[in-house]
Structure 1
Amino acid sequence: MKKRFLFISCEEAKHICDKRQYGESTGWERIKLGIRLMWCRFTKAYSKNNNKLTDALNKAEVDCLNRIEKEKIQKEFEQELAKHK
């Protein structure tokens, strides 16, 4: 069995961690990430911070502008920009 079969690089672990955050990682990738998390403190820290970010974004109550409001602001911006040309 090759060493690369189970042991992944830190960069690959970060990529898998990001994929896991969005539910796009496979079971095999999660297993390899779990092995990496057992011994790599840098990957653990990255994963921990990634989880905190995900939790913060899920808990955030952000009110976004709808399409009509965005278009109105864009139009006003373009009008003001035309005045200063």
Structure 2
Amino acid sequence: MKISCKEASSICDKSQYKEASWWDIIKLRVHLLYCKTCQLYSKKNSELTSLCDKAGLTMLSDEDKKKMKRDLDEKI
């Protein structure tokens, strides 16, 4: 059940976007009990996600992305 800090950071990132499984979240929580570095990473990651949510950032639609890719491909 012990995971590396690298795996913990990956699970932390996934959990921020609701992509982590419940088992991964349990492994992360256990890891965070003893790893101060990952505790700080998790805290900062949560703060960043919160700030991005509050900023109301928007992304390009899939259609806009496809158009941009076509335009770039034509220029190359």
Instruction: Name the stretch that deviates more: 54-63 or 8-17.
Output: 54-63
Partner of 1:57: 52
Give the C-alpha shift of residue 61 in structure 1: 3.4
> 2:35 pairs with 34, 37, 40, which one?
40
Partner of 2:10: 15
> How many aligned residue pairs are there?
65
- Letter of the 1:25 counterpart: A
Do the aligned partners of residues 39 and 61 (structure 1) sit closer, same or farther apart at CA in structure 2, a change above 3 Å counting? same
Can you list the C-alpha shifts for 1:12-35, whole angstroms capped at 9, x where unaligned? 000000000110000000000000
Give the C-alpha shift of residue 62 in structure 1: 4.3
Gaps of 5+ in 2: 69-76
TM-score, normalised to structure 1, is 0.66
> 1:25 pairs with 20, 23, 48, which one?
20
Do the aligned partners of residues 19 and 63 (structure 1) sit closer, same or farther apart at CA in structure 2, a change above 3 Å counting? closer
Q: % of aligned pairs identical?
A: 43
RMSD between aligned alpha carbons?
2.2
TM-score, normalised to structure 2, is 0.74
Runs of 4+ aligned residues of structure 1 deviating over 6 Å after TM superposition are: 63-66
Q: How far apart, CA to CA, are the structure 1 residues paired with 2:59 and 2:49?
A: 18
